[in-house]
Structure 1
């Protein structure tokens, strides 16, 4: 029978080098397990519905929806990563040092890909609202696929390079057995902070401020039946109400994303090195994860096509022949 001291260790057989478990009251632990399990399950299910909807129905194969598909894929992976957060509730990592590094690399790649997708969404709405006559020729499905692919590949390559020291010698920064930690040194952390946060967020804010200004002026023009002109004097097509609604919906997605994202990156500014297993980061990490659950809920609130596609999916009507050609929008 284990002694009390052995029960508090991650690896009782390694008494002199094992980390100690995070001890909580049983009721608190159960509540945390239930909440995180529900978040993980709902995040995966709801984002899978988005992925199936956009992938299956041909009418939804638009450049904007391809960007939403990329975001849903990253959000679905986030839901799966929450499972590891559940397993880490006792403060112990049981899956090996290399797996720990790969876990953090995967987490970083997903985060960067999500931010990159948000930048692409901002650019998409900027072109659609500010240059509507050129949107169809510039924002093609092929270009969108290339941009999304480059976004994911750059995110993977960048963070493999940033965390290469941790990959070469997994566990070099662990102080005891059962600890999962990777360290970004000052230069690498600064580069990552600029590429993953400062730069993208600046682009997003600038573009959406411009979109907001133009959308407001276009909405006023539609209400007063005034024809809008470009600076060059040529007639500019009035922005469709659907484009304005899409800009509003995606604006909500971006604002919620930034609210959930900013605390994490702001916390990284507090030290010279970015230590990722600090208990003080638990709340902001969970806040970022929770954002992945909110996105499909926002789609369900603002997009009728998403609600309709969910109905067809859960009733198994998508299994019928020719269901991919159904009128969703």
Structure 2
């Protein structure tokens, strides 16, 4: 929900202003409007990446450490984490307004972003700190989390292959892991889309600060990463709708034409669960019989 809120706010504040400026061919809100636009875009962008990092870490804890769907993060803990994410993002995005740096026009002059072309020592230091704490560190958390999930899933698959003679236990393991693995895969796809959207932007910013002064960034070239960066706020809702089973279930419930299909799926899931329970009981009884026989 926090990721959804960040994408929604960015879509409401960023895309309409960018679209109007593109139609007019120039920036139409003046210097103050540019600072406000840069601030809002910076806050929502940083909230998105930090939220993705927390989602990855949460999936790592659930999949690797517990493997128990009942061990969920308390709502109070989630609320505290969300407050920290927003406070941290607002802090870094507000520093340019405090005089450390500034927001400037980019590309064809139709949007504003962090100043990555001014090579003053203070602004270079701010940019490096911004990238380190708001890009590199979250990506390290994401890479560590999903690598741990991948290793854990491989280990679980090997365990299941060794337990094929105990079908009931294997089925129980599959039911326990299945939902969280699906969520992890969905989150990994979202992170991949985010990386594809923002890595060109980061590369462009580094070139603007440390590239040869005789070959500055061309306006049209700097416009392309700006457009790619906005794709993430469109891709995230689509990926969640397609990939998350709970979202699909709620969407199906809202559509009368799919009510019958939803009911059939629920009955099928119930039958499958009863079959698993029956197999578990049978295995338990079999163990008791073996104990009595021995």
Unaligned runs of 5+ residues in structure 1 are 1-68, 227-236, 316-326
- Say whether 1:265 aligns with 2:212: no
Aligned pair in 2 of structure 1 residues 138, 72: CA closer, same or farther (>3 Å)? closer
- Deviations 1:35-78 (CA, angstroms, capped at 9, x unpaired): xxxxxxxxxxxxxxxxxxxxxxxxxxxxxxxxxx1111111123
Contact 1:183 1:276 (8 Å CA) reproduced: no
Relative to its length, the structure with more helix (as a share) is 2
Aligned pair in 2 of structure 1 residues 91, 314: CA closer, same or farther (>3 Å)? farther
Contact 1:127 1:135 (8 Å CA) reproduced: no
Match of 2:138 in 1: 200
The whole-number CA distance in structure 2 between the counterparts of 1:208 and 1:170 is 34
Aligned pair in 2 of structure 1 residues 310, 215: CA closer, same or farther (>3 Å)? same
| Cα drift, residue 150 of structure 1 | 0.8
- Deviations 1:189-239 (CA, angstroms, capped at 9, x unpaired): 11111112111112211221111111121133234328xxxxxxxxxx885
The size of the alignment, in residue pairs, is 236
- Normalised by the length of structure 1, the TM-score is 0.62
Aligned pair in 2 of structure 1 residues 208, 96: CA closer, same or farther (>3 Å)? same
The whole-number CA distance in structure 2 between the counterparts of 1:73 and 1:242 is 24
Aligned pair in 2 of structure 1 residues 294, 79: CA closer, same or farther (>3 Å)? same
Match of 2:7 in 1: 75
- Say whether 1:105 aligns with 2:15: no
Aligned pair in 2 of structure 1 residues 192, 273: CA closer, same or farther (>3 Å)? farther
- Say whether 1:289 aligns with 2:230: yes
Aligned pair in 2 of structure 1 residues 309, 192: CA closer, same or farther (>3 Å)? same
The whole-number CA distance in structure 1 between the counterparts of 2:78 and 2:217 is 33
Partner of residue 184 from structure 2, selected from 247, 263, 278: 247
Contact 1:79 1:292 (8 Å CA) reproduced: yes
Match of 1:186 in 2: 124
Partner of residue 310 from structure 1, selected from 229, 232, 251: 251
Greater CA deviation, 149-158 or 129-138? 129-138
Indicate the SS of the match to 1:92: coil
Unaligned runs of 5+ residues in structure 2 are 117-122, 165-172, 257-265, 270-294
| Cα drift, residue 278 of structure 1 | 4.4
Bigger Cα Rg: 2
The whole-number CA distance in structure 2 between the counterparts of 1:127 and 1:106 is 32
| Backbone CA RMSD of aligned residues | 3.4
- Say whether 1:120 aligns with 2:54: yes
In the TM superposition, structure 1's runs of 4+ consecutive aligned residues that sit over 4 Å from their partners are 133-138, 177-182, 273-278, 311-315
- Normalised by the length of structure 2, the TM-score is 0.69
| Cα drift, residue 134 of structure 1 | 7.8
